[in-house]
Every structure is written in C-alpha cells, then in structure tokens.
A and B are shown apart, each in its own frame.
Chain A
Amino acid sequence: MDLKQLYQDIILEHGKNPRNFGKCENHTNEARGHNPLCGDQVQIFLKMNKEKKVENLTFQGSGCAISIASTSIMTELVKGKSIESAKKLIELFLTMIKSSEETKFDECDEDEKTKIMSLSGVTKYPMRVKCATLAWHTLSSAIEGKKQEVNSESID
C-alpha cells in the first residue's frame, strides 16, 4: 500500500489549514458526531436560507488528518449548494468510500471530482474509513435536524 495514496497533498494541506473552521453566525442547523474508538469529535454548523440553500457551513472539532481534511473539503463542496444537491453529494461520497463500484461523477465538475477522489485512498485502510465518513454522516444529521449525536460505531 502506498501511503501517498492515503496522504495526498490535498489532504495534508486541508489537514493543516482547514477551511470553514469555527462556529458560523445565525446557523439554523447543527449536529455533533463522535467516534468513540478514538474520542474524535466534530460539530457541524449549517445556515440554511429560505430557498433551502446552504448559505454557510462550518465545523469545529479535533481529529486526525483524514477526518479534518474530509470535513474541510466537505464544507467547501457543499457551501452554496441546494439542500437537494448537498444530499446527493453526501450519497456520492459515502458510496465511493464504501463500495468498490465505479463512482459516477456525472453531476460534479472537475474540481469537485478531484477533491472527492482525494479521499478515496481510505478505502484501502478499513480502520480509517470512519475517520473520513464521520463528518458526512454528521452533515446529513444536521440537514435532517436530528437531535441525537452521530456515533461512528452505529452507522454503516
């Protein structure tokens, strides 16, 4: 296995300088995620406007390079999108991480595809998959307005 596949430059860069870090003002939705195996935590803040568009998306938390980069990239990709597109993106990401099938990036532009693909290295490291997916599950929970904390051990 090649570590460079896992720790691609884009991941290291986002891991060191996460985008959209902090609590955003006037957020309408929020959710917490927790990985009990390592104690990592993530908190997602989402500001949805009347047109059901993601006006702002930020996060707080601590975690490994994979989890911070995944969260940071997610906020960049989802910000400005409609809720429906956000949901599709979450599904696309989780499908890519979990299944060996060829992922269809029909609705993504090149930049989006590159960013999502940069995280595909974790598929070869089963113990690290949850590091990459926790934020996406937590975003899904924030969109749904669920009250319960997302626990990485109780999601697929």
Chain B
Amino acid sequence: MKINDVKSQFPIFSKKINGKHLVYLDSSNSSQKPIKVINSLDNFYKNEFSNIGRSIHSLAVNATNKFEETRMSVKNFLNANSKEEIIFTKNATESINLVAHTFGQQNINKGDEIIISELEHHSNYVPWHYLRQTKGAVIKFAPIDENGDIIIGELKKLITSKTKIIAVTHLSNVTGTIVPIKEIVEIANKKNIPVLVDGCQSAPHIKIDVKDLNCDFYAISCHKVYGPTGVGILYAKKKWLERLPPYIGGGGMISEVGKEKITYAPLPEKYEAGTMPTAEVVAFNESIKFMEAVGIENIIKHEKELTNYALEKLKKINSINIIGNPKNKAGVISFTMKGIHPHDISTIVDEEGVAIRAGHHCCQVLHQKLNLTATARASIGVYNTKEDIDVLCDSIKKCRKVFELQ
C-alpha cells in the first residue's frame, strides 16, 4: 500500500468536525481505525461469534483459531521466540501491572530498588509505586537532560546490588524521545537485572524486535496500533512467565481445581483469565496486516519527514517553544506558547477541525521536571499529511489572533 493511499483506508476522515475536515493529531493518545479492522469486528459479531477455548462446536473452534492466529501474528510482529510469550491483556497499563504485581510479589522485598525514568507515563510509575507502598521498595528515577534524553551514565550510577528491575519507556509520549533500549538492556544484563519496556508509543511507529532488544518484558496497547480498544499485549521471555505466579484468577487460567488444591493452565492461558475481548483480538490481526501492508520502513520514513516538516514550520511561529530536542525523535511534538495556555490552544484549533491534546499527558513527574503544568501536543500517525501540518500551523496562528497577540 502506498503512503498516499493510507488516509482513504480510514472512514473517519470522511467526516467533518465543526464543519471542517478532521486533522487528527492525537495519535499518541489513540489512533484511528482502518476499515478492515472495523469490518473485522462487524463480521465477527455478525457471522462468527463464539467464546473461545471452551466449547467444541464449530463456531467455537473457528473463533479459537482466529484468536490464536492473531497471537501468531503478534509473535511475528515482535519477533518473539514463541507464541507462549504473547499474553493478551486489557491494555498496556494492565500488562505493566501484571508484571509489577507478579514480579513484585515474588522478587521484591523491603529496601529493594526499582529504576524507572523521568520520562515515564503514569502507567509505568503507579504500578511500581504500589510496591513502594506494600513492599517498602525504593523507586529511583533515571534523570533526563535538557534535550529530553535519558542520561545513560546517570542511570548506570543508580544501579546497586539491590536493583531488582528497570522499567523504561521505548518512546516518550511528551518529548518523542526514542530511548536506546538495547543499550539499557546491555547494561542491565551485566548485572542480571531484568528490563521492562513500555512500548505503548513505539509499537505503531518504529520497528520492534524483542529478540534484538533482548528485553524481558514489552507492553503494548493495541488501540494505539490502529487496533480496537480493550486489547493490550504483554510480551515476556518464557522463563519469566513460567517462573512468575499467575495474576488474575478465574476461568480459563486453571488446569485442575479441587477443594484443597488448584493447578494452573500452561502458557499463555495461565495469564488470560475469564472471557477475553475476543472480537477485538481477532480484529487486531487486521491492524498488524495493515501495518505490514504499508511497511514499517515506509511508516518510519513518512513520519520522520512529517515530523521534520512540522518542527520546521512550528518553530517559525512567533513565541512557540518546542518541548525537548532528543537525539532520536519520533512524531510527538509537545509545545507551549507564550501568553496562551495549552487548553486555550486546543479549544481554538478544534474549531478548525484540528484534534490535539492539552494537559500533562499522564506525565506529571516529567512536567514537574520541565517546570510546566501543561503542554499542547500534536502527535503524528501514518495517515497524516503535510496538508494536516499546514492546517495545524494556520490554526495555531489563529490562536494568536484570538488572543490579540502580535
């Protein structure tokens, strides 16, 4: 599929917002859905619906097969070793909670240390905070420099004999920083410390190869990868999933249940209790096929071009301040403007059909570090075009007009 044909695959772009064409620049928050994903959901409920893994009738067999086909696609998408390493969850938040809870229960004791970074989204901080509260763990923050890059030398210094896990984002949802995960894993490996990667922002935008990264855990939210809401992925090395205790208990995750003793199902079912978001998992296969049809290399190239175009144009607007200037930046552009609060920017550009986000983007620690309460954020998806960036810039200029600024 050619890049120019991508936008037409998304029905939402034929809709008008406030009488204007939709310029969707909030993909870091959630992505829009291609028609094939929407049709898959529709088709599954209309023609193929059944619960999976339990009944032996034809519908159930077909649904189970389709569900497992997606698992296989995800395995290939991430280059995991086996499909037992792919666990479906509700979202990346649940994936991280799963690891924090089970790993913490088994391996964290009073005074043990967890290293995260100042870039982290609340979903890669709060679950570890629970261990601070319940287990007396210590959380250390790897600092960032003025460009928004994690200072690897400082992260190294935080590692002690008490460090039990390192949890970092692959791509910041505020600065767009692409974090050198491989380098961090190599450092951690020398000390036998496992690494969890929050891959929420990276999954739709950069090539992910968990074998190459050699990380222990990788969390993804499918709704950001042009897929349905309600599905997340946890990749984990098999050794961890075998060793760690189960998380949510219930149907589907057991092997045998007696009055005295319960044994658990083998992987991956051990971590998939209760009825799963079946239609959504099945439909997510279409999201992966979509990504593959466009080609990850083409996605990277297109988004890099757009990001550079946007940065160049935005910087020319009077009194705009772009947040962060990392070595390797993806299409996440947060900014502030002198004299206009991000909320006001968001309301005004919305009148032009431009959807951006304003606030702290669930990164209050980062905003405290930057000495800001809120920023405006334009985030790019595969469907965006140079025309979108032009409309964004014109609508930002309009903010200055509304506020009667020079």
Q: Which residues of A contact B (CB under 8 A)?
A: 1, 3-4, 6-7, 12, 16, 37-41, 62-66, 125, 127-128, 131
Of the residues B351, B358, B403, contact of A38 by C-beta under 8 Å: B358
Contact in complex: A1, B351 (CB < 8 Å): yes
Residues of A close to B404: CB separation below 8 A: 12
Of the residues B347, B374, B402, contact of A128 by C-beta under 8 Å: B347
Complex: A37 Cα to B342 Cα, angstroms? 12
Contact in complex: B340, A3 (CB < 8 Å): no
Contact in complex: B374, A38 (CB < 8 Å): yes
B273 CB-CB contact with A under 8 Å: no
Interface CB pairs A-B, < 8 A, 27: A1-B18, A1-B351, A4-B402, A6-B347, A7-B344, A7-B403, A12-B403, A12-B404, A16-B339, A37-B359, A38-B343, A38-B360, A38-B373, A38-B374, A39-B359, A39-B360, A40-B343, A41-B373, A64-B341, A64-B342, A64-B344, A65-B341, A65-B344, A66-B344, A125-B347, A127-B347, A128-B347
Q: Which residues of B contact A (CB under 8 A)?
A: 18, 339-344, 347-348, 351, 358-360, 364, 367, 373-374, 402-404
Residues of B close to A125: CB separation below 8 A: 347
Q: How far is the CB of A20 from chain B (nearest CB, A)?
A: 19
Residues of B close to A39: CB separation below 8 A: 359-360, 364, 367, 373-374
Tell me the nearest residue of chain B to A68, going by C-beta: B341
Contact in complex: A66, B343 (CB < 8 Å): yes
Q: How far is the CB of A73 from chain B (nearest CB, A)?
A: 16
Residues of B close to A6: CB separation below 8 A: 347
Tell me the nearest residue of chain B to A4, going by C-beta: B402
Looking at A39, A62, A63, A65, which has the most chain B CB atoms within 10 Å of its CB?
A: A39
Residues of A close to B343: CB separation below 8 A: 38, 40, 63-64, 66, 128, 131
Residues of B close to A1: CB separation below 8 A: 18, 351
Looking at A63, A65, A66, A125, which has the most chain B CB atoms within 10 Å of its CB?
A: A65
Complex: A4 Cα to B347 Cα, angstroms? 12
Tell me the nearest residue of chain A to B367, going by C-beta: A39
Looking at A6, A16, A64, A128, which has the most chain B CB atoms within 10 Å of its CB?
A: A64
Complex: A38 Cα to B344 Cα, angstroms? 12
Contact in complex: B340, A65 (CB < 8 Å): yes
Residues of B close to A16: CB separation below 8 A: 339
Contact in complex: A40, B402 (CB < 8 Å): no
Q: How far is the CB of B292 from chain A (nearest CB, A)?
A: 37
Looking at B360, B373, B404, which has the most chain A CB atoms within 10 Å of its CB?
A: B373
Residues of A close to B351: CB separation below 8 A: 1, 3
Q: How far is the CB of A11 from chain B (nearest CB, A)?
A: 10
Contact in complex: A3, B360 (CB < 8 Å): no
Contact in complex: B348, A3 (CB < 8 Å): yes
Contact in complex: A40, B373 (CB < 8 Å): yes
Tell me the nearest residue of chain A to B368, going by C-beta: A39
